[in-house]
Structure 1
Amino acid sequence: MIHIHFIVNPIAGNGHTPLTKDELQSYFISGVHDLTIKISEYKAHATLLTQESVLEKADIIVACGGDGTINEVATCLIGTNIALGIVPMGSGNGLASNLKIPKNRRKALEIIRNKHKEHIDVGSINGRYFFSNTGVGFDARLIKHYESSEKRTLLGYISACAITFRDIKKNEPLSIGIDGETPMINPFIVLISNSNEMGYKLSLTPKASLQDGKLDVLVIKKINRLKMLWLGILILIRKVHWLKESKSFQTSKLHLTRNHSDFFDTQVDGEHNRIDTNQLDISILEKSLCVLTAK
């Protein structure tokens, strides 16, 4: 018997199409697959539910939601023999898209039933795991505004983007040093990626890979508003390297220091995360997570 546990975020993607056991049962074989559904009710609840499923000896644990739900579930499976399945139900779905897991529910469930396994890299920022990307600067402030919005859609994302542009001069001055280099004053963004998508098919690091043992780092120095608009266009056509203020490199470890402050506002897999320290240690754990993907 194959024990498959589904951890479902009922409000992912605005909760328009809830996942039910009756629906799931039609994709699996009675007597071969034993299905369990657990519903998350609040932030970090998916982590608790996954920890229970690990103790209950589930063979496969499926995250049904967006990148935030996937992060909560996958965090518990690092270094185990339990495979992570994904049913993309969020608005961005960056990691699922990178793994070629379709948003079509039937096709996503077929991938889980077929059980094709691969191992992917995992990022770590001060001991917290990330699977797609993490960052400080504009993207962290953008996610902070996005989370306060009731619109978890592309339109809501664009609206949060506009608010972040408007408020950019109100933010506390930021000085960041990277691995001993001369500190940058108010960098526009420092993005550290494990995958090549941020969600909504957008990418700042299109060459990033989940299986190369490296993190792709994009640093964009302080830029004016006109350059910000130009950057927006370059993101859409995946040509961020055309911006002369940008610098990209790969690494397995990264150290960030913030001067004149004892905290970092960051985003981790599309969720705002305040870290109460002026030091960030970021690293890669090679092929430490087993995931179910299309062949």
Structure 2
Amino acid sequence: MIRIHFIVNPIAGHGNSSLTNEDLEPYFIKGVHQLTIKVSEYKAHATILTQESITENAHIIVACGGDGTINEVASCLIGTDIALGILPMGSGNGLASNLKIPKNRRKALEIIRDKHEERIDVGRINDRYFFSNTGVGFDASLIKHYESSEKRTLLGYIRACVLTFRDIKKNDPLTISINDELPMSSPFIILISNSNEMGYKLSLTPKASLQDGMLDVLVIKKIGRIKMLWLGFLILIRKVQWLKESKSFQTKTIHLQRPQALFFDTQVDGEHHRIEKNILTVSLLEKSLCVLTAK
């Protein structure tokens, strides 16, 4: 018997996501698959439900939601043989898109049923994990605005961009140390990617791969408002490299430091997190998560 547990975030996407046994039964085999549905009720509840499913000897645990829900579920499965399934129900669905898992429910459930496993890399920022990307600077501010928006859509994302452009102030002092290189001061954005999508098919690191054993880093120096608008356009057409203030490279480890502050505002897989430390270490755990993907 293959035990499959579904962890559902009911407010993912447009806030009306649901899943019932009647939805699932047509795609699985009675007597072969044992299905369990659990519904999260608050932020980080999906983590608790996943830990319970692990103790209940689930073979597959399916994150039903967006990148935030996937992060909560997948963070519990790192280093185990339990496979992560994904049923995209969020607004952006960056990781699912990168893994070529469609939003179409029937096709996504067939991927889970067929149980084709692959192992992918996982990023770690201090004691948190990320699967798509993490960042500080502009994108962290953008996510703060987006989370406060009533519209979890592409339009809401664009509106959050406009608000972030409007409200941005002088950058706090920021020193970035990349391995043994000379430090940079006050960059506009630092994005560290494990995958090549941020959601809505947008990408700042189009060459990033979940299986190459490397993190793709984009650093953009301090820029003015006109250049910010230009950057927004370049993001939409996936040509960030056209901005001369941008620098891209690959690494396994990167250290960020804010000598004059006690915290970092970050985004981790599209959700805002304040990390109460002034030093961040971002590293990679190679092929440490088992996921179900299309053949």
Fold match by TM threshold 0.5: yes
Q: Which moved more, 1:228-237 or 1:186-195?
A: 228-237
Equivalent position of 1:132 in the other structure: 132
Equivalent position of 1:174 in the other structure: 173
Give the Cα–Cα distance (whole angstroms) in 1 for the partners of residues 133 and 10 of structure 2: 24
Give the Cα–Cα distance (whole angstroms) in 2 for the partners of residues 15 and 145 of structure 1: 18
TM-score, normalised via structure 1 length:
0.97
Equivalent position of 1:230 in the other structure: 230
AA aligned opposite 1:16: N
SS, match of residue 290 in structure 2: strand
Contact 1:175 1:183 in 2 (8 A): no
* Paired residues for 1:149-160 under 5 Å: 149-160=149-160
> How far is the alpha carbon of 1:237 from its aligned partner?
1.8
> How far is the alpha carbon of 1:80 from its aligned partner?
0.4
Contact 2:146 2:160 in 1 (8 A): yes
Q: Which moved more, 1:203-212 or 1:12-21?
A: 12-21
AA aligned opposite 2:20: T
Q: Which moved more, 1:239-248 or 1:205-214?
A: 239-248
Equivalent position of 1:77 in the other structure: 77
Equivalent position of 1:245 in the other structure: 245
Deviations 1:70-115 (A, max 9, x none): 0000000000010000000000000000000001010000000000
> How far is the alpha carbon of 1:147 from its aligned partner?
1.0
Q: Which moved more, 1:77-86 or 1:146-155?
A: 146-155
Give the Cα–Cα distance (whole angstroms) in 2 for the partners of residues 166 and 182 of structure 1: 31
How many residue pairs get matched? Answer: 294
> How far is the alpha carbon of 1:225 from its aligned partner?
1.3
AA aligned opposite 2:151: K
SS, match of residue 69 in structure 1: helix
Identity of aligned residues (%): 78
> How far is the alpha carbon of 1:156 from its aligned partner?
1.3
Runs (5+) with no aligned partner, structure 2: none
Give the Cα–Cα distance (whole angstroms) in 1 for the partners of residues 173 and 294 of structure 2: 42
AA aligned opposite 2:88: P
Give the Cα–Cα distance (whole angstroms) in 2 for the partners of residues 284 and 146 of structure 1: 27
Give the Cα–Cα distance (whole angstroms) in 1 for the partners of residues 251 and 182 of structure 2: 18
Equivalent position of 2:287 in the other structure: 287
Deviations 1:204-260 (A, max 9, x none): 000000000000000000111111111112112211111110000000011111121
Equivalent position of 1:141 in the other structure: 141
Contact 1:173 1:185 in 2 (8 A): no
Equivalent position of 1:269 in the other structure: 269
SS, match of residue 13 in structure 2: helix
SS, match of residue 47 in structure 1: helix
Runs (5+) with no aligned partner, structure 1: none
Contact 2:38 2:49 in 1 (8 A): yes
Contact 1:204 1:238 in 2 (8 A): yes
Equivalent position of 1:218 in the other structure: 218
AA aligned opposite 1:57: N
Contact 1:174 1:187 in 2 (8 A): no
